[in-house]
Structure 1
Amino acid sequence: MNHLLLADDDPHIRALVRYVMTREGFSVHEARDGAEAVKVMQSEPIDIAIIDVMMPHMDGFELCGHIRHHYDIPIIMLTAKDQLSDKEQGYLRGTDDYVTKPFEPEELLFRVKALFRRYSRASNDTIRLHRIAIDRRNVEVTDGQTVFLLPMKEFELLAQLAQYPGRLFSRDELILLVWGADYEGDDRTVDVHIKRLRQRFADYADDFTIQTVRGIGYKMVVSE
């Protein structure tokens, strides 16, 4: 059974989401604010989080940042706000998806299932992007005939994006995940490495693309 954290100060929203998710077999753990959500995660094995932005004590942006720093789970931000700046802040804090109220419960369910599919790739040693296979154990990328010899940072960057297709990573996140917390260079090095990856795999655009989200970062989009 998958465990879902639902953090929202609106009891009606919690009741609606609880009904939909428990019907699908999720175990739903509720919190009325961000501080309570932190305590829930300390005691329960949470697999995915749905969190509201406007909450007392600790808002959704703060909670999202806390979750992303301490856990590797999918996050959906659920909010009445529809401003681009709010979405940008959510993505910068590490959310995977953003659903605006009012919402259709079935759409939220579809998004939850889609995120689980994306995150399931992270547990595999080999990540497949149609013709391209990324072998993380042997540090190798191949299309079945040709082996691509990538510098280590390019390989790690490609693998990081491919693990979570559709998830937006900020440049700062990618620096931390690929280059490490001690890296002191310019974050534009991410742009340089992305450009090189695009050039290397230009002939595989029908399989996957690395998209730029202006002012924030990058995400990998895998063809259906």
Structure 2
Amino acid sequence: MYQPEEIRILIVDDEPSILKFLSLGLRNEGYQVMTAEDGLSGVNAAQEFEPHIVILDVMMPGMDGYEVCKLLKDIGNVAIIMLTAKDEVEDRVKGLNLGADDYMSKPFSFQELLARIQARIRNQFPHMMGDVQVGPFRIDDRRKEIRYEQRVLSLSATEYELLKYMVVNHGLVLSKATILDKVWGYDFGGQENIVEVYVRSIREKLEDREHQLIRTIRGAGYRVDLP
């Protein structure tokens, strides 16, 4: 597993109590932490600190979280988890369209935030992880190898990236459009049914005949359920 002290986390929030609570908790977990109390300070801090993860409040005076998110995504590779007191679908969609990688509504569980941070590290910074155990799966990104129940799966390069993406995001419903964006890339001009073809192949290699591991959520996409 990765060493937390290698991971830099920037917290941008205009509530001092949130900054204190999160910075103390994350430092206790071993992460490097920097804080900023407004959007502009957050952007400046990101340029100096070069964080791997940014925990970003949406509702801030002046430069709000949406604008900060867009600027940070233009700067470089950073995983952004947005925090908001709102729980409206439109707000989430707006943040995700601007490049946010995850979303949490206040109040939230610190343990859930830790889990989401770890998921983002697995997904966006796998080189810092070495090999990762996720349920019955062991993902070795350096060798581009996935073991399932101690058995090395014979996967093509695309099958590897697809299964890795689905496993590290286990429990979440992933639409075909999202999978295409994350695995094939935004400039991929193919059809969504190619996802079905690859999922079918991976299920065969997992011997998942009853679709208990990779479930089809009708009208929504796919979800990996771990034992």
Name the TM tier (shorter chain): 0.5 to 0.7
Cα distance, 1:128 vs structure 2: 3.5
Match of 2:113 in 1: 112
**Structure-1 separation of matches of 2:205 and 2:156:** 12
Equivalent position amino acid for 1:94 in 2: A
Match of 2:160 in 1: 155
TM-score by length of 2: 0.67
TM-score by length of 1: 0.68
Q: Please say if residues 118 and 165 of structure 1, whose CA atoms lie closer than 8 Å, have aligned partners that are also in contact.
A: no
**Structure-2 separation of matches of 1:78 and 1:62:** 14
Equivalent position amino acid for 1:95 in 2: D
Q: Please say if residues 87 and 98 of structure 1, whose CA atoms lie closer than 8 Å, have aligned partners that are also in contact.
A: no
Residues 187 and 31 (structure 1 numbering): CA distance in 2 closer, same or farther, change over 3 Å? farther
Decide which of 44, 51, 62 is 1:39's aligned counterpart.
44
Deviation per residue, 1:188-215 (Å, 9 max, x gap): 5335434543454326977x54675966
Cα distance, 1:159 vs structure 2: 2.0
- 3-state SS of paired residue (1:35): helix
5 Å-filtered alignment, 1:17-96, equals: 17-18=22-23, 20-21=25-26, 27-67=32-72, 70-73=76-79, 75-92=80-97, 93-96=99-102
What's the C-alpha RMSD, in Å, of the aligned pairs? 3.9
Match of 1:197 in 2: 202
- 3-state SS of paired residue (1:78): strand
- 3-state SS of paired residue (2:82): strand
Between Structure 1 and Structure 2, how many residues are aligned? 215
Cα distance, 1:43 vs structure 2: 0.3
**Structure-2 separation of matches of 1:170 and 1:41:** 31
Cα distance, 1:156 vs structure 2: 1.6
Deviation per residue, 1:148-173 (Å, 9 max, x gap): 43333222211233345567766555
What 5-or-longer segments of structure 1 have no aligned partner? none
Equivalent position amino acid for 2:114 in 1: K
Between stretches 46-55 and 15-24, larger displacement belongs to 15-24
Equivalent position amino acid for 2:188 in 1: Y
Between stretches 16-25 and 174-183, larger displacement belongs to 16-25
Cα distance, 1:38 vs structure 2: 1.8
Between stretches 42-51 and 130-139, larger displacement belongs to 130-139
**Structure-2 separation of matches of 1:65 and 1:191:** 32
Percent identical residues: 28
Between stretches 40-49 and 61-70, larger displacement belongs to 61-70
